[in-house]
């Protein structure tokens, strides 16, 4: 039986940012923590998701990683783009960052080389 995918299917055409698989980010979403399968400065994909969110919904997340041995935490608001319930995947894009938070995500993406 094919997977049921809800949301925007033609997401590859919308991508502007390079997807990364490393470092894997910790995403705290609605009280649960997930690891990214891939991510970019535009959004992320997690697996193991079985929560109630639906495409188009917005919520806040906390992103954490290490940069040069120091813990870095980023706050962001996201919009859910698609959910594959069978695979347990959730894809989201970033819609807002508090002041200074996007720069921290850039620092993670360059591993502190900014």
Q: Which residues contact 89 (CB under 8 A, 6 or more apart)?
A: 37, 45, 46, 47, 49, 82, 83
Find the mean pLDDT for residues 48-65. 97
The pLDDT assigned to 9 comes to 45
Per-residue pLDDT tens over the stretch 57-83: 999 999 999 888 899 999 999 999 999
- pTM of the model as a whole: 0.82
- Whether 50 has a pLDDT exceeding 50, the answer reads yes
- Whether 91 has a pLDDT exceeding 80, the answer reads yes
Alpha carbons 23 and 12: distance in angstroms, whole number:
21
Q: Which residues contact 12 (CB under 8 A, 6 or more apart)?
A: none
The pLDDT assigned to 16 comes to 66
- Whether 8 has a pLDDT exceeding 80, the answer reads no
The pLDDT assigned to 13 comes to 46
Q: Which residues contact 46 (CB under 8 A, 6 or more apart)?
A: 27, 29, 34, 35, 36, 37, 89, 90
Maximum alpha-carbon separation in the chain:
46
Domains located in the chain, CATH noted: 19-109 (2.40.10.220)
pLDDT, mean over the chain: 87
* Tokens of residue 30, six digits: 């609605």
């Amino acid at each position: 039986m094919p997977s049921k995918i809800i949301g925007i299917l033609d997401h590859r055409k919308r991508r502007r940012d390079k997807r990364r698989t490393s470092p894997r980010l910790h995403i705290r979403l609605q009280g649960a923590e997930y690891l990214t399968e891939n991510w970019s400065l535009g959004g992320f994909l997690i697996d193991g998701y079985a929560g109630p969110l639906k495409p188009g919904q917005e919520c806040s997340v906390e992103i954490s990683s290490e940069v040069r041995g120091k813990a870095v935490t980023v706050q962001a608001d996201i919009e859910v783009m698609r959910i594959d319930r069978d695979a347990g995947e959730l894809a989201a894009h970033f819609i807002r960052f508090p002041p200074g938070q996007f720069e921290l995500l850039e620092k993670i993406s360059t591993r502190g080389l900014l």
